Amino acid sequence: MKKMFMHLTNFSLNKDSANYKAPDDEFLNDGGDSGSKRLLSSLWKLFEEEGLDIDLMKEKIDDTVRKAIISIEPFLIHSYHQKVAWEHESAKCFQLIGVDILIDRKCNAWLMEINANPSLNMFLERELENGEVEKQLSELDKFVKTKVVAEAIRIVTDNGTNEFEGTFN
């Protein structure tokens, strides 16, 4: 644990690293893949350039996530009954969960962690030398997290367009 910033998925640590690089303004374009935090599409592009089988990788990720959800289903049902209602027909709710996946050199997908309350924060917060906290809007986080919430609401309510369908593949 001597290398505090080696944990790739832990943004709360990495944002304070001297090596952290904010996403550039071109994150939506082909050239927007130079920041420490990137769109998944830029990762797929990088893997494809390296000759990796993206479809197989996505299948392995889907399989890992399915198994993870199945394993926590009893907890989710119990939590739902405790916090919402025993009667399923009248209550409508949903919970966003975050799933951190590690891809190894053989393109295997490994479950790192499941976040019961993934951050929807759209600001990069850094502590300054004087102890004050600087907040800066992250356009990348705003872009991604707005889509995540909108798509979750669309799925739960069965309303709206399929505007973001396929966005997270």
Q: Give the per-residue pLDDT at 55.
A: 94
> What is the residue whose two structure tokens read 């907040």?
135
The 8-class DSSP code of residue 117 comes to: S
- Rounded CA gap, 36 and 135, in Å? 18
What is the average pLDDT across 84-102?
Answer: 78
Q: Give the per-residue pLDDT at 89.
A: 65
Q: Give the CA distances from residue 116 to residues 43, 72, 97, in Å, rounded to whole numbers and listed in that order.
A: 24, 10, 5
Q: Give the per-residue pLDDT at 65.
A: 96
pTM: 0.76
- 78: exposed, middle or buried (Cβ count in 10 Å: 0-12, 13-18, 19+): exposed
Count of CB atoms situated within 10 Å of the CB of 97: 15
What is the average pLDDT across 55-76?
Answer: 94
Amino acid residing at 76: L
Q: For 123-167, how does the pLDDT look when each residue is reduced to its tens digit (9 = 90+)?
A: 888 788 899 988 988 888 899 999 999 888 888 887 766 665 655
Q: Give the per-residue pLDDT at 145.
A: 92
